[in-house]
Structure 1
Amino acid sequence: MNYSYVSFIQCRLACLCLAFTAVCCSVQNASAEEGMYPMSELKQLDLPSRGIELTAEQLFNPQAISLVDGVCRVNGCTGSFVSPTGLIITNHHCAYGAIQQASQGSHDYLSSGFKADSLSDEIPAPDYTVRVTQDYRDISAEVLAVVQPGMSYLERSEAIEKKSKEIELAAEQANPGLRAEVAEMFAGKTYVLFQYVYLRDIRLVFAPPQSVGNFGGEVDNWMWPRHTGDFSFMRAYTAPDGSSASYSVDNIPYQPKRFVQVSVEGVQEEDAVFLLGYPGRTARHKTAAFLNYEEHVRLPTLIELYNWQIEVMTAAGEGDREVEIKHASRMRSLSNVEKRSRGQLQGLRRAHLAEKRRATEAELQAFIESDSARKAKYGELLKEIQAVYQEMEQLAPLEFNLQQLRSASRAAAIAYFIVDAASERQKPDLDRESAYMERNWEQSLQSLKSSVNDYHAATDEILLAGMMERLKAVEAGPVTEALKRQFAASIVPMESVQQWLARTSVGEWEFVERYAAQTPQTLAQTDDPILQLMLELYPTYLELRDREKTREGRLSELYGSLIEIKQQFAKSDFVPDANATLRFTCGHVRRYSPADAVVMLPLTTLSGVIDKTTGKAPFDTPSEVVEKFEADELGRYRNATLNDVPVAILYDTDTTGGNSGSPIFNAKGELVGVNFDRCFEATINDFAWDQSYSRSIGVDIRYVLWLTDVVYGAERLIEEMGVKH
C-alpha cells in the first residue's frame, strides 16, 4: 500500500529542529569518554561491563588469529570477510563505483542490480583495493628524530613526510607482500606504523538494484526511520601462490585467516553490539578557532559549491541514461557530503559549539597563566593556533576555488594529474608526492582512467566555465594574470571553455596515458588548450601545496603542545581523533527521543518499505520485492516478535565516515548487520560526541539474507556463508 510521504517528512524535519536544540544542552555536558578506540586501548576497556563476551585478545591479537582478521578496509570504507574464499560484505554505496563502472555500455547494473552465478562471472573492480590490518607499532621517536631546531614549518612537514615514507618502504622490504602506512595519531606527538595485507584484485559479486541499495535516496539520507538495503558483496583474489596481484584470469579467491560468522537470529532492542572499522577523520581535539572556520567559511562554501555541481550534473543526465550513469558515482558522493555538511553546520550553529569550546579554552588559558613555567611555554599557544585559521579564512576564496577547479571539472582534474606527474616523476622516489611513487603509480593510473571514462564534455563546459568565473572574481596576482592570458581571445569564460574542450584530447585515454609519462619539457611544447591552462596555473598550485604543508607543520607542532597542556589540565589521557586506522566502538540497539513526545524505535521492517513505496524514485521498490512480500515469502528471516523481516537497526555506537560497511557484531562476535549511516543529529559527532544523541544506522543481516536468498536467488552465496537452510 502507498501513502503520502510528504507530511511525514515535514514532521520529521520539524523534529530535527527541536533535536538540535536538545543537542545544544547535551554537548555542553558531553561525556569525556569517546568511543572510537584504537586497538592499543582494548585491554584498558572493561568489555564485560559493556556486554561484550569476547576478550581483548579475541578481538585483536597480532600474534594469533583474531576477529580483526575478518575485517578489512575497502577503499575508503570498511568490509568483512564472510566466507573462507574471500567473499566481502560492505555497503552498496561503498561498491557504487564498481557498479557504476560495470554499468557503462550495454548493461545498467545500477538499475537492475547484479548477480554473478559463478566465480567466472564476477566483474573486476580495478579502482578497488582491500587492506587487512596485521600489526602496528609506535614509531614516534623515529619520526620526530628528524625534526631539528631552526627548521621552518615547511621543512618540518617535509622532513616528517619523507621519514614516514622511508619507514614504510623499509617495512615493506622486510615484510614482502605487506603494505605499510604511517599514521599520525596525536598531531605532532605520536606516530604509528600499521602493516596490512594489501589486495589489488577485487571483483563485484552481488549488488541489489539501486532502488533497494539506495531506497529513499537523499530524502532519507542521514535520517531515521530508514528502510535502505545498503549492502553489496565483493570478493578479493590473489595470485595462485597467494601473493597480492593485479587482476588476472589465473588469480584465485583470497583465503583470509579468519572470516566472520553470520547470525540469522539478528538482534533485539537493548542487545549489546560492537563495530570494528576504519573511521575517517574527526576533529574533537581541535580548537574554537577551527570550529569558527568550519562554521563560517569551509562548510558554507562547500555546501554552495557542491549543490551547484549536483544541479549541473542532474540537468545533464535528464533524458540521457548513459550520461546519468557517468555522473552517478560523483553525484552520490557529493550529495552525501553536502547533506552531512549541512547537518554539521546546523549542529555547530544551534549547539553554539565554538562558543562553548572558547569557554573551555578560557579555563585552560587561566590554568596556563596560573604558573609562570606553563605561561612561558604555552601562554601564546591558543593565539598562535587562531592565527593559522585566520590566515586560512583570508585566503579561502582563492584556495577553495583553485581546489575545486581541479575537482569539479574532469578535464582540469586530468590535466592537473598529467602536469603534476611530469614534474613529480622526475624526482627521486622518496621525494615525490605519494600518488606518483612507484608503489602507488599503478593504482593512480587506474583511478585516472576511471576519471577519463566518466568525462562528459557538455557537463564539463558548464563546470569548468563556472569555476573560471569564480576565479576571475578573485584578485590574486599570478592567478589573475594567468587567467587574463587564457581569456585574451574571449570576454566570456564559456566561449573560451567551449573552444578549449572542442580541441582538447584529455577525454581520450590513449592520449592521457601517453602524456602522463612525459617530461615537463615535452609538455611545454603541447598545443592542447586544457594542458596549456594547467601549465599556466601550475606554479600557483605548487605555492598552494607548500602553503598547505607549512600550515600542516605549524599546526602539527602547535596541536602537539595543546595535547600536552590539556592532559596536564584534565589530569587524564584522551582517545586520539579518528584517522582511517582500525578502531573499536560499542553500544546497544537502542531507541531515542529526538524531540519532546517523539520516540524513535530501533528496528524498521519490510512492511515499512512497502508502506513508503510510491512507485517513483526514490521510493520505487522493485516488483520482485513487493511480490515476495505480498506472497508472505519471508522464510526463516521473519522475526517472531515483529512478525516481519527487520530492515534497519539503530544503535548508540560512535561512528563517522569510513565506518560505512563496518560489521555490526553481537556480543559473541557474530555478524548481525552492516553499518551505513548516522542520524542527522549525529552529524555533529565529528566535532563533539555524546551518547544521548549519537545514533548510527545499519542494515539488518536478516534483510540482507532475505533479499540475497529469497528475492534474488543467490543460493550459492548463502551456502558459501554457511547459512544453512
Structure 2
Amino acid sequence: MKFLRLFLLLFVLQTQAQQGGMWIPSLLNGMNEKEMKSLGMKMSVADIYDVNKSSLKDAVPQFNGGCTSEVISPKGLLLTNHHCGFGQIQEHSSVEHDYLTDGFWAMKTEDELPNEDLVVTFIVKIEDVTSKVLEDTETLTEADKQKKIQENISALSNSLPKESWQENKIRTFYEGNQYMLFVTETFKDVRLVGAPPSSIGKFGSDTDNWVWPRHTGDFSLFRIYADKNNRPAAYSKDNVPYTPKHFLPVSLDGIKEDDFTLVFGYPGRTTEYLPAVAVQQIVNELNPAKIEIRDAALKVEDGFMRKDKAIKIQYASKYAGVANYWKKWIGETQGLKKSNAVAVKKKQEAAFQEKVIKAGKQAEYGSLLSDFEKNYTEIAPYALARDYFSEVILRNTELLSLTYKMYQLEQILNTKGEQAFNDRRNNLVKGLGDFYKDFNKTVDEKIFEQLIDLYANKSPKQFLPASLNNINPKTLSAEIYQSKLTSYDGVKELLAGDSKTVLANLNNDKAFQMVKQIADSYFKNVSPKYDEINLKITALQRTYMKAQLKLNKDSRLFPDANSTLRVTYGKVKGYEPKDATIYTPITYLDGVMEKYIPGDYEFDVPAKLIDLYNKKDYGQYGEKGKMPVCFIGTNHTTGGNSGSPAIDARGNLIGLNFDRVWEGTMSDIYYDPAICRNIMVDIRYVLFIMDKYAGAKNLIDELKLVHPKKK
C-alpha cells in the first residue's frame, strides 16, 4: 500500500511538472525544485542561480536584445542560433566572401570579425523591489498610478546600488503585482567566430519553419571580448577574450526519450492568463483577419518570386518575415481549437468564481469576469480595426508603410517643431537607400490591390474614411502608384526644401493623401477608444492576477514572459499531433538526405556533408551508426528563447533551442502538455559540423567535453 501511495505521488508530481511554466530563476526553491528533481534533475537550484558564487545564470546572456546565447568555453566562446546571428553573418558577406552560402570559420582569434552595435547582457543579480515601486500609488486613478510607477522605477534605477559598468533594470511581473530589479552587465565587443553555410544553418527555411520533424543546424558562434580587467568595453584591438564566471560543459552522451531537459533564456512575450472571452476573440476574429491579410500578400510575393530570380533575391528575407507569424497564427489558432482552450479557461473561471465566493471576496473580485466580458465585447471592433490598420498600412504594403513615415513627419513638425522635423527628415532620406534597393513597385502594387480591398471591405466600416467606400482596387492602385514615393529619387525630391515646401509637396501626392485620410480616421475614431478600453482591461487583468495569487496560494503560478531571464523544464518527448500520427522525439542526418533537393534554396545540401553521410564519418558524435540532428521536449518556450541552451540533469549542454512545433504554437496563450513541444539542435550535430565538416578543431579544443552518463 505504501509503495502504491508513493507511486501515485510520483506520478502526480511528474504529470503536474510538465504543465509548462517560465520561472524566475531566483525563486525556484520549494515546489519547483521538488518537481525538477522528480523529473530527474541532479543539480540543486543553487547550481542554477546563485548571487554569491558562479552558477548557470552566469553562462546565459541575452544576445543582442532579442535572442539568448550561452558561454561554452573559458575563453568567452558564445553559442547562439544561426538565425540570431544572421544579420552579422550577412553584414560580413560579400561576393568575394559569401559567408551565408559558404559558412565562416575563424581558425585563430585574429580572424574573428568585430560587429558594430552587437551586445550580450548578463544578469548579475535579481531582487524584489515591489514595495518600493508601488510606494504612494494606492489612492491614484489608473492613469496617474501608471505615471507614478514609471517615476518610481526611474528614480530607483538611478539610485539602487550597482558597479559603474553595470545597469539597473526594473521589470514588471504578474500584470503589475510584482516588480523585480535586474542588475546587468552588457558587453559591447562581440566577434563572429563561426557559422555553417545557410544550407545547414537554415536547412528547410520557410517550408520547415514551425514544423516537426526538423533537420536544421541552426547555430552560430561568437566570442565576447573584455578590457584587461575583464569588464565590458567598446571594441578595441587591445581587448582580450572574456573570462566567464561560468561556462557550460558539453555532453557527448546524447539524449533519449524522457531525459530531463532545462531551457534557460529570455522568453519575449506570453499572455497565459487571458480570460476565455479574450482567447475566443483571438481565435474567431483577430487571428483569422491577420492570417487572411498575410496570406494574400504571400501569394502575390510567391507568384513573382517563382518567375523572377531578381525578385526572389529582393523578397526572400521579406517573405520569410511575413510568413513567420502567418504560419504561427495558423498553428496557434488550430492548437487553441484542438486543445479546447476556451472551454478549459471557462471551466477554470467557474472554479475561480467559486473560490471568490468561498473566500468572501465578492466585493473585490466578484465582478471581474463579467467586467472582462463587457470590456472585451466593447473593444472588439476597435481591436479588429487596429489589427487591420497595423497589418495593411504599417506592415505588409511597403508603399503605405513608407508613406506612413511621411505622415509621422508631418505630425512631428506640428508637435515638436522645425528642428525635430529636420532631424527626422534627414535621417529618413539617409536611411531609405536600403529600403529602395529591395523595393519592387510592380510587386508592391499587386499586394496593395489585394490588401486595400480587404481593408475597405473587412475592417469595421464605421471607422473608415469616406474615400474607401466602393473603391475599385485596380483603379486606385494605378493612381496611387504614380506617387513619387515609389522611387528613391522621387522621395528625395519630395523631401527637399524647407518644412513648408516639403509639406506642400507631400500633401499633393496621391499616396500621401490616401494614407493621411486613413491615419487621421484611425487616430480619431479607433486609437483613443481602444486605448481607453484597453486601460480598463489592463487594470482588470492586474486585479485578476492579484486574485489568482491570493486565492491559489498552494498553487504555482508563473509570471508571463517579458524578456527577462527564465527557467523552463521538462523532458525529451514525442507527441501525437492528430489521429494515427505519432512523432518520435529525435531526427537524424538520414532525414536531411531524404529532404535533399539539389540546387533548391531551402533543401540543398553541401557536397562535403553528403560525403560525410555516405562514409558515415561521424567521429565521436554519432550514435549507433547514425548522426542525431534535432530533438523535441516539453519545455515551455517562445520568441526570445531562440539560442537558449538545453541543459541536462547535471548542468551540461545537450542542445540549442530554436523553434516550436506548429501544433503547439498556441503555448504563448495556453500551454497544452499533450502537443506543445520546443525544438532543439542536438549539440552533437553542432560539434560534428564544427569538427568533421568545418575542421575547426581549434574551437573543439576550447570546449570541456564530458560523459556525464558514464559517471
TM-score, structure 1 as length reference? 0.80
1:48 aligned to which of 30, 33, 37:
37
Asked whether the 8 Å contact 1:309–1:408 carries over to 2, the reply is yes
Q: Tell me whether 1:267 sits opposite 2:255 in the alignment.
A: yes
Asked whether the 8 Å contact 1:423–1:519 carries over to 2, the reply is no
CA pair 78-361 structure 1, distance change in 2 beyond 3 A: same
Aligned twin of 2:83: 93
Q: CA deviation at 1:669?
A: 0.9
Q: Tell me whether 1:379 sits opposite 2:369 in the alignment.
A: no
Q: CA deviation at 1:288?
A: 0.4
Aligned twin of 2:280: 292
Aligned twin of 2:604: 620
Deviations along 1:213-243, one digit per CA (max 9) or x if unpaired, are: 2323344333333222121223344567766
Q: CA deviation at 1:552?
A: 4.7
Q: CA deviation at 1:700?
A: 0.7
Can you give the 5+ residue segments of structure 2 that lack an aligned partner in the other structure?
1-14, 422-426, 707-711
CA pair 334-561 structure 1, distance change in 2 beyond 3 A: same
Aligned pair count reads 673
1:225 aligned to which of 207, 213, 216:
213
CA pair 370-146 structure 1, distance change in 2 beyond 3 A: same
Q: In structure 1, how many angstroms separate the alpha carbons of the residues matched to 2:626 and 2:502?
A: 63
Aligned twin of 2:593: 610
Q: What amino acid maps onto 2:77 in structure 1?
A: L
Q: Tell me whether 1:587 sits opposite 2:570 in the alignment.
A: yes
> What are the equivalent positions in structure 2 for 1:528-539 lying under 5 Å apart?
529=509
Aligned twin of 1:143: 133
Q: CA deviation at 1:648?
A: 1.2
Aligned twin of 2:614: 630
Q: CA deviation at 1:390?
A: 2.1
Deviations along 1:267-291, one digit per CA (max 9) or x if unpaired, are: 2333322111112222221100111
CA pair 134-476 structure 1, distance change in 2 beyond 3 A: farther
**Higher mean C-alpha deviation, range 231-240 or range 286-295:** 231-240
**Higher mean C-alpha deviation, range 97-106 or range 186-195:** 97-106
Q: In structure 2, how many angstroms separate the alpha carbons of the residues matched to 1:159 and 1:453?
A: 45
Q: In structure 1, how many angstroms separate the alpha carbons of the residues matched to 2:178 and 2:413?
A: 30
Q: What amino acid maps onto 2:375 in structure 1?
A: V
Q: In structure 2, how many angstroms separate the alpha carbons of the residues matched to 1:410 and 1:545?
A: 22
CA pair 327-675 structure 1, distance change in 2 beyond 3 A: same
Q: Tell me whether 1:555 sits opposite 2:572 in the alignment.
A: no
> What are the equivalent positions in structure 2 for 1:472-551 lying under 5 Å apart?
472-473=456-457, 474=459, 480=465, 492-502=476-486, 524=503, 527=506, 529=509, 549-551=531-533
**Higher mean C-alpha deviation, range 467-476 or range 272-281:** 467-476
Q: What amino acid maps onto 2:67 in structure 1?
A: C
Which secondary structure state, in structure 1, belongs to the residue aligned with residue 184 of structure 2? Answer: strand
Aligned twin of 1:133: 123
Deviations along 1:641-683, one digit per CA (max 9) or x if unpaired, are: x322211122222222222211011122111110122233322
Aligned twin of 1:189: 177
CA pair 607-34 structure 1, distance change in 2 beyond 3 A: closer
2:558 aligned to which of 570, 575, 590:
575
Q: In structure 1, how many angstroms separate the alpha carbons of the residues matched to 2:238 and 2:394?
A: 38
Q: What amino acid maps onto 2:485 in structure 1?
A: L
Aligned twin of 1:64: 53
CA pair 226-468 structure 1, distance change in 2 beyond 3 A: closer
Q: CA deviation at 1:128?
A: 4.2
Q: Tell me whether 1:708 sits opposite 2:690 in the alignment.
A: yes
Aligned twin of 2:4: none
Q: What amino acid maps onto 2:543 in structure 1?
A: S
Q: What amino acid maps onto 2:630 in structure 1?
A: A
Aligned twin of 2:10: none
Q: What amino acid maps onto 1:40 in structure 2?
A: S
CA pair 66-370 structure 1, distance change in 2 beyond 3 A: closer
Q: CA deviation at 1:298?
A: 1.8
Deviations along 1:679-707, one digit per CA (max 9) or x if unpaired, are: 33322322332434333221111111111
Q: In structure 2, how many angstroms separate the alpha carbons of the residues matched to 1:646 and 1:548?
A: 50
Asked whether the 8 Å contact 1:229–1:703 carries over to 2, the reply is yes
Aligned twin of 1:35: 21
Aligned twin of 1:648: 630
CA pair 560-661 structure 1, distance change in 2 beyond 3 A: same
Asked whether the 8 Å contact 1:679–1:694 carries over to 2, the reply is yes
Q: In structure 1, how many angstroms separate the alpha carbons of the residues matched to 2:238 and 2:407?
A: 36
Q: In structure 1, how many angstroms separate the alpha carbons of the residues matched to 2:535 and 2:249?
A: 44
Q: In structure 2, how many angstroms separate the alpha carbons of the residues matched to 1:133 and 1:299?
A: 35
Q: In structure 1, how many angstroms separate the alpha carbons of the residues matched to 2:382 and 2:246?
A: 49
Deviations along 1:339-387, one digit per CA (max 9) or x if unpaired, are: 221111112223332123223323433444567x522222321122223
Aligned twin of 1:24: none
Q: CA deviation at 1:58?
A: 1.7
Q: What amino acid maps onto 1:374 in structure 2?
A: K
Q: In structure 2, how many angstroms separate the alpha carbons of the residues matched to 1:676 and 1:238?
A: 28
Q: CA deviation at 1:88?
A: 1.9
Q: In structure 1, how many angstroms separate the alpha carbons of the residues matched to 2:512 and 2:66?
A: 30
Which secondary structure state, in structure 2, belongs to the residue aligned with residue 187 of structure 1? Answer: helix
Q: In structure 1, how many angstroms separate the alpha carbons of the residues matched to 2:274 and 2:542?
A: 11
Asked whether the 8 Å contact 1:103–1:325 carries over to 2, the reply is no
Aligned twin of 1:276: 264
Aligned twin of 1:7: none
**Higher mean C-alpha deviation, range 134-143 or range 281-290:** 134-143
Q: In structure 1, how many angstroms separate the alpha carbons of the residues matched to 2:491 and 2:82?
A: 28
> What are the equivalent positions in structure 2 for 1:159-170 lying under 5 Å apart?
159-161=148-150, 163-170=152-159
Asked whether the 8 Å contact 1:673–1:701 carries over to 2, the reply is yes
Identity of aligned residues (%): 29
Q: CA deviation at 1:606?
A: 1.8
Q: CA deviation at 1:553?
A: 3.1
Asked whether the 8 Å contact 2:631–2:680 carries over to 1, the reply is yes
Deviations along 1:298-341, one digit per CA (max 9) or x if unpaired, are: 21122222223333333444465565344333333332322221
Aligned twin of 1:8: none
Q: What amino acid maps onto 2:288 in structure 1?
A: P
Q: In structure 2, how many angstroms separate the alpha carbons of the residues matched to 1:181 and 1:672?
A: 31
Q: In structure 1, how many angstroms separate the alpha carbons of the residues matched to 2:129 and 2:406?
A: 34
CA pair 150-202 structure 1, distance change in 2 beyond 3 A: same
Q: What amino acid maps onto 1:289 in structure 2?
A: V
Q: In structure 2, how many angstroms separate the alpha carbons of the residues matched to 1:274 and 1:413?
A: 41
Deviations along 1:133-167, one digit per CA (max 9) or x if unpaired, are: 2222223233333646463x445445444544454
Q: In structure 1, how many angstroms separate the alpha carbons of the residues matched to 2:334 and 2:66?
A: 26
Asked whether the 8 Å contact 2:297–2:450 carries over to 1, the reply is no
CA pair 247-677 structure 1, distance change in 2 beyond 3 A: same
Q: What amino acid maps onto 1:111 in structure 2?
A: T
Aligned twin of 1:337: 325
Aligned twin of 1:431: none
Which secondary structure state, in structure 1, belongs to the residue aligned with residue 587 of structure 2? Answer: strand
Which secondary structure state, in structure 2, belongs to the residue aligned with residue 226 of structure 1? Answer: coil
**Higher mean C-alpha deviation, range 260-269 or range 103-112:** 103-112
Q: What amino acid maps onto 1:657 in structure 2?
A: G
Aligned twin of 1:669: 651
Q: Tell me whether 1:391 sits opposite 2:378 in the alignment.
A: yes
Q: Tell me whether 1:401 sits opposite 2:388 in the alignment.
A: yes
Asked whether the 8 Å contact 2:465–2:518 carries over to 1, the reply is no
Q: In structure 1, how many angstroms separate the alpha carbons of the residues matched to 2:78 and 2:550?
A: 44
Aligned twin of 1:16: none
Which secondary structure state, in structure 1, belongs to the residue aligned with residue 670 of structure 2? Answer: coil
Q: CA deviation at 1:491?
A: 5.2
Q: CA deviation at 1:558?
A: 0.7
Which secondary structure state, in structure 2, belongs to the residue aligned with residue 720 of structure 1? Answer: coil
Q: In structure 1, how many angstroms separate the alpha carbons of the residues matched to 2:91 and 2:398?
A: 16
Aligned twin of 2:3: none
